[in-house]
Structures are given as C-alpha cells and as structure tokens.
Structure 1
Amino acid sequence: MAFIISLLMFPIHERLDNKMPTMRNTSALLSCVILTVIIVIPLLLVFTAIIQQGSSFSQGVYHWVAEGGVQDLLSQPYIVKIINFANSYLPFDTLEPSEIAQKVAELASSFGTHLVGMSASVVGSATSFLMNFGLMLFVLFFLLRDHDRIISSMRHIIPLSRSQEDRLLDEIEQVSKSAVMGSFLTAIAQGVAGGFAMWLVGFPGLFWGTMMGFASFIPVVGTALIWIPACLYLLLVGDTGWAIFLLVWSVAVVGSIDNILRPLLMQGSAGMNTLMIFFSLLGGLHVFGLIGLIYGPLIFAITMVLFTMYEEEFNDFLDKQDNN
C-alpha cells in the first residue's frame, strides 16, 4: 500500500524535492506530513462527529419508543390492514400489536448498548489503523526518498526490455490512481449526496452519509442498505412526501454516481470495461477485503498487460500454432 501511495504522492514529493535538492530526507518527511494532514486529521474529525450524532440518534429512538411512538405507529389504519392481512394468509402465529411493540422496545433499549460496543470497536479499529498507518508512513518515507534507486533496482531485476518495463510500470501507476479515484471518490460523492438527502428529511446527515459512503463499497446492494430502510421508516410514520423524495433522490442521484462516476474514473486501463471492473472489484473484495478494491483492478490490469506483451512477443509462434 505504501508503494501505491508513493505513486500517488510522487508529483507532490517531486516538487518539494526540486525545491530542496540537497535535503532529500526533509522533502520525504514533509511529503509524509502532508499525507497525514490530508488523511488522518479529517478522519478523526469525521469519526468524532459520527459517534456524537449516532449517540444522539439512539437517544432519540429510545425516547420515541418510551413515549409510545410504536403504539401510535401500529394504530395507523394501513398498518392495521397489513397486520390483519398477515394474520389471514401467512402460515405462522398471529401477530399482536402489543407483542410487536414489546419487541421494538427491547431492541431500542439494547440499541444504545450495541452502539457503545460499536463505538469501542471503532476506537479499537482506529488505534489499529493509526499503528498500521504509522508503519506505512515509515515505509513510504524510504520509498519517496530512494524512489529512483528502487525503480532502477526493479528495472534491473525484471527480465523484460526497457520498453516493456516502462509499459508495465506505467500501467501499475495508472491503475493505482484509477482504483483509488474510482473507489474512494465515488464513496465520498455518494456519502455527500446521500447525507444531504438524509439531512433534508430529518435524519443525522453526517452519520448516515458516512454509513452510505461505507455501504457503497459493498457490490450490488451498496447504498440501498441505508436508504431503503429510511424510506420505509418515513412511510410508516406518515411522511410520504419525504419518503418519495428520498427514494427518487437515492435512485436518480446517489445511484447514478455509482453507475457513472466509478466506471468513468476507472476507464482506460488495460482495456478494462465496466463488466471487468465489476468482477475485479468483486474478486478483490472476496480475497483481500476492503483493500481489494485497489488490489483487484491492479492485479487484473497487470495480468492483461503481461498477456498482451506475451502475445506481441510470440505473435509468429502463436500464428503457427493456430494454423496447426
């Protein structure tokens, strides 16, 4: 990951290096500091706000349940019709509004406890992230400082011609940039658009916008994991207009960001069309986890380049094989 980030950070580092040609350690250190300011400080601010909004949201849900909000909801005429329909046709025990209200109250009372546990988990994950980030910065410092020497050593070891090496390294750089831009900028854009809509309809915008951003990394379903329950909730409490607005906004705006922006940012690498991008993202997630959103397209693109170079190098042999 440090190697990939060094490719992304190198234009900034090169400017610093040109201004301080005799101070390579200082320029590499400044590049690492800039990266830290860009990534870590905003993340800490966002996570703090998320925990605050999540806590306020859980308290609001608990008070709504305690003040009889569930009973008022279940007494709505269309909810009564749905329960009666379920009791008439579905093959299980009858649904009683009092039992449903009791179950919701139990969930609401335990929600705060779960949120505290999730907050502790987030803090633990943040600690682990900071440790790993510190290790990555340590490696990144040497990759930036000794960039030319490392690239020269790689060129010397790789058993390819200079033109093939240039092609392979250029492809790694291009796909690294497109994978980062395609995955993370799409998640940020969807989170901002979704959070704005959530704020308009009355939900904590920053909290649910961030949840939408994380959900956008999940293939196929993505942000629908967040906005579909939100639309259903608005329908149940009688805010039909806001529910329709959130549905239309999520499908037309948030969904179009994923369908247009991600493929657009990840085009132009090793002939990767939208379908191949999808499968490389899916395979990367399955094998490597979240970081596979970068590794999947990178591995796929390098493989395609190697196949193309092999075909060009042994084209005559392959034509003879086809004719035999």
Structure 2
Amino acid sequence: MVNELQYKKYVPITVFFLLVVLSFLLIKPLILSVLLSALLAYLCYPLYDWLRKKIKSKAISSLIVCLLVLLVLLIPAIFLMKVLVQESYIFYISAKQKITGDILPGCENFICQKITELGQGSDFQFHLQEALKTMTNLVITKGSELVLGLPKIMLNIFVIFFTLFYFFIDGKKFLKEIGQHLNIGKQKYLRILERMKEIIGGVVYGYLLIALIQGTLGGIGFWLFGLQSPFFWGVMMAFLALLPVFGTGIIWIPASLLLLLDGILQDSNGMIIRAIGLFAYGVIIVSSLDNLIRPRLMSGRAKVHPVFILLGTLGGLFMLGPLGIIFGPLILSLTTIVVNLSKNQ
C-alpha cells in the first residue's frame, strides 16, 4: 500500500516532464523563428505602442507594424541575396582571369616580372584558385539552398509574423504570466527584465547596427573608388565588424595597399590616388564609427564584453546558422544574468 502511494506521487511529475519534453520537441524546428519574432517585437514595440494610442485598436496597430516589418526586412533581403550571389560569381570569374592571365598588364620592369612569375607558378595558382572557389562556392551554395528551401522559408516567415502579431497584442501579458510562474519575486523579476533590455539593446544597437553601417559604408567606399564587387566586400566587412579582434580593416587595408602597389608598378597616378583615397576613407569614415557613433548608441545600454561577442558570434553561426550571429552573443550575455542571480541568492 505504501509503495502504491509512493508510485502515485511520482506519476503527475513524470507526466509533467514528459509533456514538457514533447512540447519542446514539437516547437524545436520553429524555435529560432519564435525567438526572432520576440526580438522583433521588442525592437518594434515603441512603434506599435505609438500606433495603438493613435488608432485605438490593438489588432489593426499590430497588423500595420507586422506589414511594415515584412516590407522593410523581406523585400530588401531577397534583393540583397540575389546581388550577393551574382557579385560572388563575378568576383570569382574576374579573379580567376587575373590569375591565369597577366597579373600586371603593361608593366615590364624587374619587379613586375618577378610578381608575374610568382603568380603564374602552378602551385600558387592552384592554391589561390581553390581558395577563391571555396569562398565563392560557399556564398553561391547558401544562396541556392535558400531558393531550394523556399517552402520551409515561407513557413518560417509565416510563423514569425503570426507570433509577432500576438507578441505585440499580448506580449506584456506573456511576460507577466512568466514572472508569476518563476516565483522569484516581483522586484527581482523586474530587475532581470530591465537587465535583459539593456543587454539586447547593447548587442543590437552597439554591435549589429554598427556592423551593418560599417559594412554599408565600406561597400560604398569600394564602389566610389572603382573596386570590383563592392556589395560582396561590404557584406564581408559587415560580418568582420562583428568580431572585435578583426574588424573591417582586414578588407579595406589590404585592398588599398594592393591598389597602391598596382598603381606604382604600372606607373598609374590614378590608381595611386584611388588607393590613398580608399585608405583615408577607411580610416576617417568606416573606422571612426567605433569612436563616434557607438558610444551614443550604447548610452544607457549594457556594454557586452568583447569575448561574449566573439564567441557568441562564431559559436552561434556554427550552431544556429545566420541567425546565430544575433542570438549567439545574446544567449551568452543573458546567461550572465542567471549566473549573477544565482550568486546573489
């Protein structure tokens, strides 16, 4: 009889955990879409709140903001992916022609001849072509995967905007219910939410937005000074800007130096001026964002440690794909909240 009572005591707990596991497995394929929707809801909530006060309707306000988010994010993303794949292929073809042909056409001095001999060496050409092929194939393959996986992408987009609609309407209610179930005290829960807002603001505005601006300005600089595939290199610079150890200088410094060397060896004043202009543009326009704009965007927001940004970006990219660039640093940073909370307790 005693054993039977003990057995019955564990049945509800077992059923509860079984349901939790099954629920997680059900939403696991869509969990990134839900997280992205929650992030968009947080970022766009001020706009929704403003519209709600003007229109006096939660549903209409939420629908308008969802449509605006769809237009602002989806249409440019499709266009940018198309351009990125095209420029990657053009870059590969032009670079391959440069390697297999005359590296420095019109230049006949001793240095040019040695550089040409080095560049036309079979081993050098093979390894360089393989590196170019790998880099461009990666971009083209990912672009093709997006096209082939269009039904899955459409499903995820539907989930994002369906949940986004209700996050706007019932988001505060969701947060309130979560706080009641956590049972950690109202004041402590509010402090956690405030800290989460600061960290999300620090990651999104202090790193992601700055990286996007730096990549955009870098691509514009490549276009202004006549370098090939400006959009491709702009995307590369935006990604590298997320990594504290690297930065956009890994792209524009070698590009300006190679352009300068090309101009000197070919005795082209135009190339030399363009190289100096590109270098100055990189120093004054692109790199200065870290010192001028980042402090203003970070004002009143939590500063996230560069280690969390580096590890979160790379680890998130490998584990979660492109969205890991956003959620990787956020997950690591938010983990510190839980650790600090446990330490304080």
Please give the TM-score of this superposition, normalised by the length of structure 1: 0.73
Q: 1:119 aligns with which of 140, 156, 166?
A: 140
* Counterpart in the other structure of 1:100: 121
User: Which consecutive residues of structure 1, in runs of 5 or more, have no partner in the other structure?
Assistant: 84-94, 315-324
Task: Give the distance between the partners of 2:106 and 2:183, measured in 1 at CA.
Answer: 70
Distance 1:98 1:207, change over 3 A: closer
Q: 1:192 to 1:34 in 2, by over 3 A?
A: same
Task: State the partner residue of 2:305.
Answer: 277
Match for 1:279: what amino acid? V
Does residue 78 of the first structure (1) align with residue 111 of the second (2)?
Answer: yes
1:105 Cα offset (Å): 8.4
Corresponding residue of 1:234: 259
Question: Does the C-alpha gap of structure 1 residues 260 and 101 become closer, same or farther in structure 2, counting only changes over 3 Å?
Answer: farther
Provide TM-score, normalisation by structure 2.
0.69
1:149 is aligned to 173
Q: Give the Å deviation of 1:151.
A: 2.0
Q: Is the alpha carbon distance of 1:104 and 1:306 closer, same or farther for their aligned partners in structure 2, counting shifts above 3 Å?
A: closer
Describe the superposition over 1:164-215 as per-residue Cα deviations: whole angstroms up to 9, x where unpaired: 3322222222322332112222122212221222112211333322322222
Letter in 2 for 1:277: H
Aligned CA distance change for structure 1 residues 78 and 9 (closer, same or farther; 3 Å):
same
Aligned counterparts of 2:305 and 2:129: Cα–Cα separation in 1: 40
Structure-2 separation of matches of 1:98 and 1:147: 60
Match of 1:190 in 2: 214
For 1:36 and 1:260, locate their aligned partners in 2 and report how far apart those are by CA, in whole Å.
31
User: Aligned residue for 1:219?
Assistant: 244
- Alpha-carbon spacing, 1:65–1:33, altered in 2? closer, same or farther (3 Å): same
> For residues 54 and 286 of structure 1, what CA distance do their matches in structure 2 show?
22
Alignment match of 2:70 (pick from 36, 56, 64): 36
Shift of 1:298: 6.2
> Aligned partners of 2:310 and 2:104: how far apart in 1?
43
Match of 1:268 in 2: 300
How far the C-alpha of 1:136 sits from its partner, in A, is: 2.5
Alignment of 1:171-320 (within 5 A): 171-203=195-227, 204-238=229-263, 239-262=271-294, 264-269=296-301, 272=303, 277-289=305-317, 291=324, 293-297=326-330, 299-300=332-333, 303-304=336-337, 307=340, 311=344
- Offset of 1:26 from its aligned partner? 4.0
Whether contact under 8 Å (2:237, 2:251) holds in the other structure is yes
Note if contact 1:59-1:112 (Cα within 8 Å) is conserved in structure 2: no
Q: CA deviation at 1:76?
A: 4.2
How many residues are paired up?
294
Pairing partner for 2:86 from 41, 52, 68: 52
Provide the residue aligned with 1:16 in structure 2.
51
CA RMSD of aligned residues (A): 3.7
Displaced runs of 4 or more, over 6 A: none
Q: Unpaired runs of 5+ in structure 2?
A: 1-34, 264-270
Q: Structure 2 counterpart of 1:3, which letter? A: A
- Greater mean deviation of Cα atoms: 291-300 or 133-142: 291-300
Amino acid at match of 1:141: F
> Match of 1:87?
none
Distance in 2, matches of 1:302 and 1:266, equals 20
Distance 1:280 1:130, change over 3 A: farther
Instruction: Tell me, yes or no, if the aligned pair for 2:214 and 2:241 is still in contact at 8 Å.
Output: yes
